[in-house]
């Protein structure tokens, strides 16, 4: 169970994505993907967690504001076009738009509408990055 503020934020955001109806498999940071003995799926979501500098709102021990981004890249097989990958990106955007999540006393707010970036072509697949901005406050001690 996550106990640090950033860990709780990441866990809540990743869980919100994983519980999306018809969710693709998710490759999380520093987790073996796929499981041993399995082939990498043709379509999946690759997560990147980018916490930013803490914003000190008040002096003293009051809870401070945490800012950052979750990037959920839609990984799509080469040669299958862009439209379906953009549809999945749109589903992720809709999943997080105007959301507030809670995790062990941490209130996590999606601070503006998530957006899809332009497609990036790799050798064997294309990715469409979806950026999800958030802010949260540390739990009170």
User: What is the CA 53 to chain-centroid distance, rounded?
Assistant: 18
> Which tens digits make up the pLDDT trace of 86-101?
999 999 999 999 999 9
Q: For residue range 47-102, what is the model confidence (pLDDT) as tens digits?
A: 999 999 888 776 766 678 899 999 999 999 999 999 999 999 999 999 999 999 99
What is the Cα 74 distance to its own chain's centre?
11
Q: How far apart are CA 51 and CA 117, in angstroms?
A: 19
Q: Give dist(CA 83, CA 43) in Å, integer.
A: 14
This prediction has a pTM of 0.91
CATH topology classification for 5-137: STM4215-like (3.30.2000)
């Amino acid at each position: 169970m996550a106990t640090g503020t950033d860990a709780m934020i990441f866990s809540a955001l990743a869980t919100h994505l994983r519980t999306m109806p018809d969710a693709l498999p998710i490759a999380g940071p520093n987790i073996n993907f796929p499981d041993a003995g399995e082939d990498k799926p043709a379509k999946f979501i690759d997560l990147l967690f980018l916490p930013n500098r803490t914003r000190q709102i008040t002096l003293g021990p009051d809870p401070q504001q945490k800012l950052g981004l979750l990037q959920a890249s839609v990984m799509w097989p080469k040669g299958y076009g862009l439209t379906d990958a953009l549809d999945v990106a749109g589903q992720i955007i809709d999943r997080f738009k105007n959301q507030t999540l809670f995790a062990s006393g941490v209130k996590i707010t999606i601070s503006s509408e998530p957006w899809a970036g332009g497609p990036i072509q790799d050798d064997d697949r294309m990715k469409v990055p979806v950026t999800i901005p958030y802010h949260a406050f540390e739990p009170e001690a």
